A and B are shown apart, each in its own frame.
Chain A
Amino acid sequence: MSDRADGRRDDPGAERGASTAPVEGRHGGPQIGRRHVLRLLGLGALSVAPLPVLPTLLRAAVDIDEPPRPQADAARTADGRIRQWTMIIDLRSCDGCQSVDKPPRCTAACIEGHFAPEPMEWIEIFEGELPGGGTQFIPTPCQHCQNPPCVNVCPVAATFSTPEGTVLIDQDRCIGCRICMAACPYDRRFFNWGNAPVPPESLLADYSPEHQIPVRKGTVMKCDFCPDMARAGTLPYCVQACPQRAIYYGDLEEDIATNGKVLVSASRFLTENHAYQLKEELGTKPRVYYIPGHGAAAGRDAFTPGRQPTEWPWVERVEGAVTWQR
């Protein structure tokens, strides 16, 4: 490094280079001093070092309260282990409520119990075609995956997994970007596109992610496995409402399940009846299992299609609400 004609030796921003020839605007310019480079890198590294903890620092600085999340009081077995909720749906008994000639009772109970806005069907009865030509009814709640695509992609962790293995949504944090809806392979997430029609009494409830009322416009909702009820030892609405008792709710940790009448060992029930999961090959590891069937135990013939459309009982009761199609 030669002396500079202008004598600027200590200027930290100045270049130290050997040549005084005119600079070409190209790659391969003059040398930069090693100390200079190290200083640059050090300053730069310092300036970006707080980046990983930036969200935490921001939260502390702005003194933001974390919205309450149901983590501390996970549901536990009698010997203190955390329950792992699961649902087993016995399709041998599900006939889409054809035998009771009503819209499916599980969906209706869920809608009424949670004040689910129209047109959300948190548990939805799909009618799938069987290889031989008939149809089967597939009650489809949120699958509460153990490798949930929705949790993976959420930018703000508004949707999260609980210790019990259920997936919940914090509507106070959701920004409404809807990437979770694009990611869910089961079509189980619903968006509040407008002011949803809900009964006025739902607006009085205390909000928590386990109890998604009152509804917030611009956020996502879905089936939550009724965790507050399950923790208290009550079965979810859909399980209670099924007239064929086709839905079992259970705990994989204690290895037990019930449909409200009958107790089964969950692992045995699943294995002996050749249970499967929806779209297993995707690797989402759902907590909802299905026992193959088409409602024969309820007296249904596989070649009688059709179920009654779902209804929402409070559309007329609320002012200024708008409904929409799925």
Chain B
Amino acid sequence: MNLITRRAAWAAIAFLAVGASAVALAGPAFASHVSVRTTVPAEMTVGDTVRIPVALSAADGAPLQGATVVFYLHASFAGVVGEAEIGRAVTDETGAAALPYRPRLAGQHEIRIEYVTPGQGAVEEVSTVFDVIGGEQLYRSAPGIDIPGLNVGLLIAVVAAVWTILFGVALLLVAIARAGGEGGAPGGGEAG
């Protein structure tokens, strides 16, 4: 009984140790061993491209190079609420990366920057809220044929010229009718 109890105790301790080391190894997930930091630019306008910097450093403060971070924008559209991926960036030797981002809606927005530790699947993230001030309409719908300056004016000019000449001919006919009222010698003796 003593033996079993001692073995059971050792098993329990071993179990606990494994568990503890597992927890320790998984520590970074909970304990943020890789730190992700960002400083969102203070002022953003719709339509202007800004760069969102992000810095990645390992638990010991050394910069993390070659890491891919993914940027998500929290949004809602047509009844669907969620996150849209707005870009990815890879850190350089200083552990910094920057995403060129063009805000498309004024108001307050939330961005979440995520780093997934390769192989482990541990997720580091940082969220930040920023304000965008409203801008101008970016797309203008202007379909149809539109030749500035020429367009309808030329067509009208041509049509007007033709009808003016026809009108002139009509006036000539009026002249003929009038001239018939007067006398005057018929010429040529034809078609009397």
Contact = CB atoms under 8 A, between A and B. Distances in A.
- Whether A and B touch directly in their complex, counting CB atoms under 8 A apart, is answered as yes
Contacts of B174: 13
Nearest to A262: B82
Interface stretch (B15-23, B55-63, B112-120, B133-141): B133-141
B86 interface: yes
B139 A47 contact: no
A8 interface: yes
A79 B110 CA distance: 16
B104 A254 contact: yes
A263 B80 contact: yes
A79 B46 contact: yes
B164 A51 contact: no
Interface in B80-99: 80-87
Contact of B84 (A15, A44, A265): A265
B159 A233 contact: no
Question: Which 3 residue pairs are nearest across A and B when measured between Cβ atoms?
Answer: A44-B164, A13-B175, A79-B106
A260 interface: yes
Interface residues of A, number: 58
Interface string B158-192: 01100111011001101100110011100110000
A77 to B, nearest CB: 6
Which of B76, B77, B136 counts the most A-chain CB atoms under 10 A from its CB?
A: B77
Contacts of A151: 143-144
B41 interface: no
A147 B143 contact: yes
B105 interface: yes
A257 interface: yes
Contacts of A79: 46, 105-107, 134
A41 interface: yes
A58 B89 CA distance: 62
B75 interface: yes
A90 to B, nearest CB: 15
Nearest to B102: A255
Given A77-B105, A147-B143, A264-B84, A48 B160 contact: yes
Contacts of B178: 11, 13-14
Contacts of B143: 145-148, 151-152, 161, 167
A61 B79 CA distance: 47
A82 B137 contact: yes
A202 to B, nearest CB: 25
Interface residues of B, number: 50
9 contacts: A11-B175, A51-B160, A52-B152, A79-B46, A79-B134, A165-B141, A233-B79, A235-B78, A256-B75
Contact of B145 (A78, A152, A230): A152
Interface in A74-91: 77-82, 84
A162 interface: yes
Given A44-B168, A165-B141, A263-B80, A268 B160 contact: no
B87 A268 contact: yes
Contacts of B164: 40-41, 44-45, 47-48
A268 B106 contact: no
Contacts of A95: none
Contact of A81 (B138, B156, B184): B138
Interface in A120-164: 145-148, 151-152, 161-164
Contact of B77 (A13, A51, A250): A250
A263 B82 contact: yes
A326 B31 CA distance: 66
A80 B134 contact: yes
B104 A255 contact: yes
Contacts of A44: 160, 163-165, 167-168
Contacts of B187: 22-23
A47 to B, nearest CB: 6
